A and B are shown apart, each in its own frame.
Chain A
Amino acid sequence: MYAQMVKTDTARVRSLDEMDPVERDFQERIDAGQKIEPKEWMPEGYRKTLVRQISQHAHSEIVGQLPEGNWITRAPTLERKAILLAKVQDEAGHGLYLYCAAETLGISRDEMYGQLHSGKAKYSSIFNYPTLTWADIGAIGWLVDGAAIMNQVPLQRCSYGPYARAMVRICKEESFHQRQGFDILMKMVKGTPQQKAMVQDALNRWWWPSLMMFGPSDDASVHSAQSMAWKIKQNSNDELRQKFVDQTVPQAEYLGLTVPDPDLKWNENKGGYDFGEPDWSEFFDVIAGNGPCNAERLNARKSAWDEGAWFRDGLVAHAEKADARRAARMPAE
């Protein structure tokens, strides 16, 4: 999930009887599976929640370019380098679609950038972990993009039309990314013992942070309940995490790897794996800005923004001049 712990400003989910007629009408449309479009009436909480979630998602795509971009100049073959470049370019595109989807809710992109740079808006906790070896690039594709897909496929049915439509485009490309990551690891585990050890080490470091991408366990989360009532979210955090584990463990076995969880065990009764608890204190630390790379990531974003200011201004000045020239050439009516 690229958006974790999105606040909904609600204390509890209200029933239809407690709503005023306009809101009830809105909720009934959602319950009937209708899409909500930009200019239509929506509760302020719904709008705000979507802005938080979509912008957090967009920020994650943008910040997510940094850990992978770290290996572009050091990719081991030209082919891998070209693939990685194309992938990072896709992430930029995903950010773009998502910012535009959020903008239909009445916030500007520069405003969202401002919230990212000030630390007011979050991005996915996963991108605060460092990429230490080439195998990490494979692990990110396989696990991180895999977890993202798990979450984003249901988002294609999200009640807000522009977000749902952006997800359709994104999911298609996201599945390329997962395959390229798995392909890197498949080659490496068949390589030298050092290469295989590198892959195991990457799995050891990325496994738990990937499980945390689904957000905290939602037993007590009123935000999740409200998001689900609004059909912004379709599945609970734990449900998706379980699905991810069930899908991923056999893939790890296929690679001949060991999942770093002593509690991991197939449970015949539930037809899924039992697994250990992620370290939630680490999760909350990372979300609060104290993960291994939080400061580095934010600084990279901020300096790109600040040092690029003169260039953005130059482009605007040039566009204004060209507009003025064109206007001067036009005959007066």
Chain B
Amino acid sequence: MSSEWPLWEVFIRGQHGLNHRHVGSLHAPDAEMAINNGRDVYVRRNEGVSIWVVRSSDIAASAPSDKGPLFEPSNSKVYRHPTFFDIPDEVGHM
């Protein structure tokens, strides 16, 4: 038997961070060891207070070639970018 350990992606929420950020990846036989190793490698110097690990094979990613169709903000559709409403000054901050 010589199966390679699966790859895990590691996400850390910093001390004062609001959300988890991807910090890197590692190999581990199971989730528990992935968390243990993630702690040892990525959180040894106050980098954070919470770890998520996810099998890389469970992540679906967008393709670089889809950059245009997926992320183009369609600036021609003005109703998506509603920055043009006039609010009377008397109304105050809105």
Contact = CB atoms under 8 A, between A and B. Distances in A.
Given A37-B64, A39-B64, A97-B24, A110 B4 contact: yes
Interface residues of A, number: 24
A97 B1 CA distance: 26
A317 B29 CA distance: 9
A100 B7 CA distance: 9
Contacts of A110: 2, 4
Interface in B1-46: 1-5, 7, 24-27, 29-30, 33, 40-41, 44
Closest 9 pairs between A and B when the two form their complex, measured CB to CB: A319-B30, A315-B29, A319-B29, A100-B25, A93-B41, A110-B4, A313-B1, A40-B64, A316-B29
Interface of A: 37, 39-40, 89, 93, 96-97, 100, 103, 108-110, 166, 169, 309, 312-313, 315-319, 322-323
B63 to A, nearest CB: 6
A91 B61 CA distance: 31
Task: Tell me whether chain A's interface is mostly helix, strand or loop, or mixed.
Answer: helix
Contact of B4 (A93, A96, A109, A166): A109
A39 B59 CA distance: 14
B2 A318 contact: no
A39 B29 contact: no
Given A37-B64, A319-B30, A322-B30, A108 B4 contact: yes
15 contacts: A37-B64, A39-B63, A89-B44, A96-B41, A100-B24, A103-B25, A169-B24, A309-B2, A315-B5, A315-B30, A316-B1, A316-B29, A318-B29, A319-B30, A322-B30
A262 B28 CA distance: 51
Contacts of B7: 100, 103
B2 A39 contact: no
A89 B2 CA distance: 26
A25 B13 CA distance: 37
A319 B7 CA distance: 14
Contacts of A317: 1
Interface in B56-78: 61, 63-64
Contacts of A39: 61, 63-64
Contacts of A103: 7, 25
Contacts of A319: 29-30
Nearest to B67: A40
Nearest to B31: A319
A40 B64 CA distance: 6
A66 B41 CA distance: 19
A169 B29 CA distance: 25
